[in-house]
Every structure is written in structure tokens, then in C-alpha cells.
A and B are shown apart, each in its own frame.
Chain A
Amino acid sequence: MTDRQFIGKPTNRVDALEKVMGTARYTADYYLPGMLISRCLRSKVPHARIISIDTSEARQIPGVHAVITCDDFIDHGRFGFPIVDMYMLAYQRVRYVGDPIAAVAAENEESLQAALKAIKVELEPLPGLFDPRQALSPDAPLVGEKPRDAEGYPHGNLLIDYIVRQNDPDAVWKECDLVLDKEYTTMHQEHAYIETEASLAVPWPKSSGVTVYACCQSPFLAKNNIIQTVGLGSEDVRVIQPYVGGAFGGKDDTMYQTIAQTAKLALISGRPVKMVFSREESMISSYKRDAMIMHYKIGAKKDGTLMACQFHGIVDSGAYAAITPFTAWRSTIHAMGPYRYQACSVDTDVVYTNNGFAGAFRGFGNTEVCFASELAVDEIAYRLNMDPIDLRLKNCLRPGDTTSHGQKLGDDVALAECLQQVRKLSDWDRKRKEFEQGDPARIHPGELRKGIGVAAVFHGMSLGAEGKDSAVGTLRINDDNTLTLTSGLTDYGSGSRTVFTLIAAETLGINPSRIHMLRPDTDTAIDSGPTVASRATVLGGNATQVTAMRLDAILLNAAADLFHCQIVDILRDGENYIGPNEEPASFDKVVDHARQMGLTLSTEGRWNAPENHWSFESGTGKPYFAYHFGAQVAEVLVDTGTGKVEVTGYWGVHNTGTVIFPQGILGQLYGGITQGLGYALMERVDFDKGFIQATNFDEYIIPTAMDVPEIVGAFVEKPFSDGPYGAKNIAEPSLVPAAPAIINAIFHATGRRIQNLPANLERVLIGKDLRKEGSNTACKLGLHQV
């Protein structure tokens, strides 16, 4: 279909060399003359009223330049989106272990530690709430801010609730031959980004403004938070995003706190102030993927037709809302999975507890419900003696179908193709026969058993009805005829700088090496919303294409003027422009001519996502403008003597539309599946009375290279009309179906369906989790470790 020069062709990442050579600088790598270091005093109790904070002694310690509390911010530093319930430093209450209370900037470690010790905090302990199931009971301790009887609030711990409604499932159960009724749970997950939280704030002369270097999901949100809570004008704040060492959704709220704290400390002290978290501080104080309790009731006909789905979910948002309202909304929309039902009802309650706090994490609410619904659908297939892929093919959404929300789908839908391709790639049919299905009653302990499992996914693209959705890119031709490209979206390591560079190069017909893409800087890039929701390629890619097309039009005009011909008469051959007399003019020549004509060689392009709408009252609408679809198959070897699960093979086929950067898309697929494998088998954030148990990677284990099999990826490149060059996204949906595919494979091998994550040694061998009695020592120690 294409004679494309760069898109879809193997290439190096634009930042490969810098990263491999170690010359890429991250926030923590910056050192400035006179720079102070800073740290927060954090709560060592899960819930307490703050009676008083006395920082006077700490301020007197030599080498200490600034000590701040919430009182140093406007409105106590209140912030948060979409629900405003957080503070830059704790106000009136601490609500989780790790909640920041005060921040200190000092010349050296000794002064810093002495000052942190010298801050006197008087706390009145409050009862903690640790069981999300109890959150809405009348006598539960109140963690939320609204009084229990506030208008419109059924309970002060109910953060928010969402619904989806389509017909009445209760009217359909009697038509079903099989009704499955099950509960599933998932645990909090740690993002485990390799770069911990880091911010460096540099005051301007006379503290008239501040420049902050920091890793975060959106430098623009960080800037707005500083404007509002520190009280500076828009022109007095600049936020620059250096290289970022991974985020996975984890660099939102915690980072905005850190950024505002360092900005304030820098303005008070008049010195650059850096704050870098230790791994322990990061694990204790940053938000996690929320834990969820999910109840599914699904009815089906004997022939495998799915009829009705009823879902009730409880989301543990922990101490603050953070982004969890959006996460839970995505859970709500995706709870039915990518299937057609005649009736469904979805109810999701988001509750406060004192279990840390939860927020955005790759997969964003879909990870949890996909795990549960793909287990449920799989169980229905087995109970009906149907092949699990056949059952999915029978019910999966297809082009032109209407979803349970009432949204009519376009022709970009390709789930059936994904399922069929992954079936072939994984040699599914042969293996299903060869690996005899496990029967717990007949397995000899110690047997090594193979199994194979599948999971399907759909994932709404970008923000959906969460909010306004647009992105802006800019291009400028520099004096030396290189080009500078900007986007308001960040490359955390996911490869978007390479994707945008390729799109600009393709559109302009120039070599990618001419283009230098800047990292986001609120002074040079234009706000494009946060880099979340797998939206970079589609939103940022489209914006890049728009700006590149504008620049291309300018250059074509110049070429036409040069050749004295019409634009339509111009051809391109590599970088050259060819006029009617067939004499080529180089790109440089055309650019020079454009300059002589006085043309402005810089452009800006905005792309607005198509409209969405969602009725929160009726639970219907068009939640996302389009969806990504995919299917993954896992093959496992289960040691029935020890419960050890080895993932021995993995296949993923995703409906990504046009592949722009082949190595990049595979990197996303491998990484997502690896993170999903960890979620499935080993990762667990345990809270014991609010105290996190694992504070470093000795105890919080994630997969190593030795745990990941060869992953085979393939892409259904059905062009997507709203995507740049027909591309869709991949970042989150690559992770989402991994856990259910693996758990379904374990069922095939052992006959044991594990409904609670992670499927660790104990659950696989004896069918239940065992836990050492918890303690608060790791947590308390972690808050002291540097």
C-alpha cells in the first residue's frame, strides 16, 4: 500500500545513543552552584489529626535555609484533579503513612536530617480504615473530607460512583443456560519506574519566578499547580522536562507535590533546591495501581452466546482521590470486556481508606476488570465445553456493532482478526489438544503440567469523556536548515520522540536526522494535556502531522515560486523537489528561496480528538472516540509440586493500525506483557494496618529477564482513519490482557482457577495465600533511609 520512506521502517530511537552512552541527563544528575538538598518529613501513622507543627527549632539549625508547611501555600496548597482533596503538605490531617507534613531545604545531609528531627509535630491518632469493604458501613472511620450527611453524598468515604446501564439483566437470567457468579480481587501494584521522583527548582533573581526541572506526566499541570498554590503569574513559572526514567502513570500527583514544594523552598531560600526520593521513600509515599474487589454475574446460552453481565466493583482509592476517579470510570466502561450483551449493569464504588493512595497506572482501571472478566468468560467457555477462543469469537465486538454503552463502532474494529491470528501464531489448536486439561483430583503432586490460555482486550483510546482532548506540535526550520520539533507530550522512554520525528520526516519528505525533537518545556512547547492514556501516538502524532503539513505547504509554495510552476506540478525525489523542467532543487535550496521570499518557516498544528459524550446519570453514551483491540496467548509450565509457574511462551496480536516505529511498538508490547506477568504472578503491595510491607526491590519483586519467555508480537495494521498515517496506540493495551491470559493458562494446566492476584506459589499449590504477620518496621525504617 505504501511507498513510505520512514514510517514502518526499522530505525534507531532518536535518543538511543545518549541513553546507551550514559550521557542522557535525568533530573537527579543536575548539580548547580549553591544548590540545596531537600526532603519531606512524612507521616509515620496512617491516620491522625494534626494538632500543631512547630518548625521554629528546625529553622535555627545551621545550614537550614527553608522549612515549609501547608501554611506556606495559598489555600494550604490545596490541589487535585478531578477531585480537589490533596495538599502540597498535609493540612489538618495525615491520611496515610508517608503523607508529607513539612519540607526542609538545607546545605547538606547532616543539617537536613537534624532539621527533620527537630520539627515538632503533635498528632492525635484517629482510627484507621483499612478494609475497603467496610468503607461505606455507617460506623467506618471517616477518611474523606465530606461529612457523612453532606448533601448528595450517601457516605463520606464514597469518593464517587459510576454506572453503565443497558436493558435489565434481571430480566435475562431466566433465558440463560448458565449463570456464573464470582468474586475476583486484585492488589495494588507499584510502578517500579527506574528513576525515582526528582525535582530541581531554580529561583530567578530576587525570587521573581522559578524554573523547575522535574520528571512528571505533564509539565503544564505542574506549572498550573505552582501558579495556583505558590501564587506566581503564568509568565513567572517555567517547567522543563529532562529525560524521564519511566513513569507508567506514576508521575502525576506525587510529583506535583514534590515540584510545588521545591519551587516554594527555592523561592524562600533564593537558592536552587533539589529533592530526590530514595527508593524506600518512593515506594512508601507514591501512589499505586488501585486494588479492586469485583463481583461478576454473567449469563450465557448453551451455544456460548453471552446474554447478560452484571458487575459490582469496589475500588480502594486510599487516602486521596488522585486520578482514581478517572481510573474507576475506565474500569466501569470496560467492565463488560469487548463483547456483545443483551443486557448489562455496571456499578462501581470508589472509596477512601488509609491504605496509601491509588492513582494512574498503565492500563488505568482496565487492567483490573479485564483480569476478572476474561477469567469469567474463560470459565464459561470451559463449563460449556467450548474452545475459549471460539467463545470469544462468537461474542466479540465487530465492525458496525453497538457496544453495551450504546456506541456504534466503526470499521477499524479488528478483534476477530487478532483472535484468529494469535490462534495461528501460538499453535493454539494443537497445544489445546496436546496439553491435556488439568484435573486437580487426578494430578500427581510433582507433575510438571503445561497449559495454554487466552485473553482479549479492548481499550478506549485517549482520555475519552474524561475531558478535552487535543494536542499541539510545532516545527521550525533553523538557520542551518535543521528542524526543531516540539510537542507538549513527554517521552518517558516509550519512544514517542522517535514516532513524532518519523511522522514529521515522512510528511515533509526529509531525512529524520535533520529533525531535532525537544523535550517538553512550558516555554517552548504548547500544552497538549498530560502524557497518559496511551494518547501520545494518536494525539501528538496527529498534531505533528498537522504542523508538518503546514510547513510542507509553505515549502511547496516556495518551490513553485522557484520553478515558476504550479504546486501540483512539483514532484519529490528523496529530499529534492522536482519541477516541470525536471531539474531538481535540493531541500536547502527551496528553504533558502522561501527565506528570500520572506516566508515564516515555523508552524503550529493542533489536533482535536473527535467528540465524545457520556451521561453519568443514564450510564450510556459514546465514552471514547475509538478503541484498541488485541488478543494474547500465554503458555505455562506449572510445577504442581511447588506451585511454581513458568511462562514458557507468549504471543500477542494487537489491532494497532499502521505501525510507525517497528522496534518501538515491539518494545511497548514486550514491556507491557512483562509488567502484566509481574502483576499476574508475583507483584504485591501489602498494606498492614496502613503500613506498606515491601519498601524496596528485595521484597517487592518484579520479573527479571530470566522470567520472561520469548514474546512473539504481530499487528493487525488495518488503517485507522483518525490516526496519523492510520496508527492507533499500544502502550497500555499491551499490558492489560497479560494477567488473565497467564491465569487462564494455569487453569488449563491445573484445573485450578485463581481468582485473586497475584497467583503466587501458595495460591497455585494450596489454593490460598499465606501471609507473614505484618509489621510497621520496614516502613518506619524506609522513611529514614537516604
Chain B
Amino acid sequence: MERFGYVRAATISEALTFLNQPGYKNRPLAGSTDLVLLLRRNPDLCDRVVDISLIPEMHTIEKTGNDVIIGASASFSEIISNPIIRETGPILVEACKTVGATQIRNMGTIGGNVANAAACADSLPALVCLDAMARVLTPSEEFNWTVSELVISPNKTRIPAGGLLVSLRYTIPPSGTRGVFLKLGRRNAMAISRLTVAALGRLDENGRIADARFVTGSAAPQICRFKDVETSLLGQVPTPALMLAAGKLATEEMIRLSGYRWSSEYKVPALAAMTSRALSRVFQVREPSGEVV
């Protein structure tokens, strides 16, 4: 293990001061569950960590008007047990539940997950599905990006050096919205996602699809909503055939975004199956397996 300095910030402004203090190569440290591994691989990453995990204002989870704001230092466990998110964004709760294991969920933060921006980060598809916004501060500026704008490519974000992701914010979806998050890994805990899908939707009073949002993780270099899939659903009456077709569209969109790769021969059928399963559950139609869920 390499040596590095450590300071703990008590407030957001103190964190920003530390992060921009000359003479150091600073790096925010939240739950450290990614950073320790990064440092092990690359000891030159930083020479001082700025601990932001104990800043009270970065742990708050609150409802303001029709929006929910989540402090970036909220741990997965805090999110999973938070009544506001459980009620207004259960898809995010489901996603956070699949992260690592209890110890990782206690330490790991949503801000760290977004800022680290791994292709397999499990909160990302749910956040993008919720159209979440990220608030980033530097000593002189404030940025508000959607999460899919913030993440440029795997492990690359728009957060400027010395900047801090302070919170995430989503607008509460209209009532009647249902969300489903599915994760596929090689084992049932402590698993790096091979594929994730997040789907959110709502029917209108005529039983037609009024809202459809669909995102997959670990499938494309930049996490984004799959517009072709969504368009194919809007205004339609949900049927098993429609869900199957959407699954096929999702795979086409994945190949268009990421190209045909070593894993595509597997990921194409797997994504098709996961997509139609997730959408079937959102719109409550019979799954291809014949099981009603």
C-alpha cells in the first residue's frame, strides 16, 4: 500500500478549499471502496485524499417540491433504507440493493459510484432512467448536468479537477409509474455486472403506454436511454410480442453504440431476454416464460 496524506472536510466549502489547495495532488475520498483499489493499481493517482464522507450536508436526502435530492455521500445502505426514495424512486433502491455485499453497501456512496463512473456501476442505469441531474461545484462555478451527460465514457466524467459532485436530483415520476431493475452477474453477490437493465413506465387511462424509459448498463460506452426501444413502446398497447420486439431493438441499439465485441455473441441474446423480461414486468404483460409476475 502506498503512502498518501489525508484531510477530513467538515463542510462542502471546506472540501472545495482542500481540493484546490496548491501543492497537493488531491482526490475526494468518500467510501473508499473504489479509491483504495485505484491507488493500489496507480500509486501516483494522488498524494492526498480529502475525506468527504462525513460532511453532514452531503448525506441529506430530502424532498423539495416534486424533486428528491440525494447528497452524494449517502451510502447505498442509507438510500436503501430511506423512506422518501423507497416511495418515489424504488428502482434506485432495487439497483442499490444489488451492489456488492452489506459491507460495501455500508461504505460505498452513490456519489462515488457516479464519479467513478465504471461501465458496470449499478446505480447509473437507475439514475439515468429517473432522468437524474448531478450538481457539481468548484470554488467558482456550479454545473448541473444530467447523469448521462456527466458520464462521458467508462471511468470518465465532466467533473473538473478540484470539482465536487455534491448531490443528485430527480423529479418524482407521476403516480402509476412502475420501475424494474435487473442485474446479471456471474454470482449473486459481490458480482461485477455483466448486464443491467432499468426500465420505467406508465400506462394511460386507455391502457396505452404513456411513458417508457429504458437504460442498460455494461452494454454501451456512454450510459444513455435507448430511444429506439422507448419510441417503439410509446402509444402502444403492451403485448408479449411488443416486449419481444423491444428486446430485439435493445440489442440492435447496443451493437450500434458499442460495436460487435468479443462478448456480443452472448450479450445479444441475454440483453434481448432481460429487456423483454423487464418491460413485461413494468407493463405487466405475460413474460415470454409464460409466467405472470
Contact = CB atoms under 8 A, between A and B. Distances in A.
Interface of A: 444-448, 639-644, 646, 682, 698, 701, 703-707, 760-762, 765-766, 770-773, 781, 785-786
B287 interface: yes
Given A706-B187, A766-B266, A641 B290 contact: no
28 contacts: A444-B288, A444-B289, A446-B277, A446-B288, A447-B289, A447-B290, A448-B289, A448-B291, A639-B273, A640-B289, A641-B270, A641-B288, A641-B289, A642-B184, A643-B266, A682-B186, A682-B187, A706-B101, A706-B188, A706-B189, A707-B189, A761-B270, A762-B266, A766-B265, A766-B266, A770-B265, A773-B262, A786-B1
Given A682-B187, A766-B269, A770-B266, A704 B288 contact: no
A445 B187 contact: no
In the A-B complex, the 4 residue pairs with the closest CB atoms: A641-B273, A706-B188, A446-B288, A706-B189
B220 interface: no
Given A642-B274, A771-B262, A786-B1, A707 B288 contact: no
B273 A642 contact: yes
B193 to A, nearest CB: 12
B214 to A, nearest CB: 16
Interface string B57-92: 000000000000000000000000000000000000
A701 B186 contact: yes
Contacts of A706: 101, 187-189
A445 B272 contact: yes
Given A445-B288, A781-B41, A698 B192 contact: yes
A771 B270 CA distance: 16
A548 B120 CA distance: 59
Nearest to B41: A781
A707 B184 CA distance: 13
B269 A705 contact: no
Given A444-B289, A761-B186, 18 more contacts: A446-B273, A446-B277, A447-B288, A447-B289, A639-B273, A640-B289, A641-B270, A641-B273, A643-B270, A704-B189, A704-B190, A705-B189, A707-B187, A707-B188, A761-B184, A761-B194, A765-B266, A786-B1
Contacts of B190: 701, 704
Interface string B238-272: 00000000000000000000000011011001101
B187 A704 contact: yes
Q: Which of A640, A646, A701, A761 is the most central at the interface, judged by chain B CB atoms within 10 Å of its CB?
A: A761
Interface class of chain A by DSSP: loop
B158 interface: no
A646 B191 CA distance: 14
Interface string B182-207: 00101111111011000000000000
Nearest to B277: A446
B109 interface: no
Contacts of B189: 704-707
A698 B120 CA distance: 13
A444 B240 CA distance: 12
B26 interface: no
Contact of A772 (B263, B277, B288): B263
Contacts of A760: 186
A760 B194 CA distance: 12
Contacts of B270: 641-643, 761, 765
Contacts of B188: 646, 704, 706-707
A168 B133 CA distance: 75
A586 to B, nearest CB: 51
Nearest to B195: A642
A770 B262 contact: yes
A770 B287 CA distance: 28
B222 interface: no
B290 A444 contact: yes
A766 B272 CA distance: 13
B288 A701 contact: no
A592 to B, nearest CB: 54
Given A448-B289, A642-B274, A785-B40, A765 B269 contact: yes
B263 A703 contact: no
A451 to B, nearest CB: 15
A449 B270 CA distance: 16
B266 A445 contact: no
Contacts of A698: 37, 192
Given A445-B269, A446-B277, A641-B270, A703 B187 contact: yes
Contacts of B41: 781
Q: Which of A642, A703, A785 is the most central at the interface, judged by chain B CB atoms within 10 Å of its CB?
A: A642
Nearest to B288: A446
Contacts of A682: 186-187
B180 to A, nearest CB: 14
A786 B2 CA distance: 9
Contacts of A639: 273
B167 interface: no
Contacts of A445: 269, 272-273, 288
A766 B263 CA distance: 11
Contacts of A771: 262
A444 B195 CA distance: 20
A765 B262 CA distance: 15
A705 B41 CA distance: 28
Nearest to B264: A770
A641 B288 CA distance: 10
A643 B266 CA distance: 9
B168 to A, nearest CB: 26
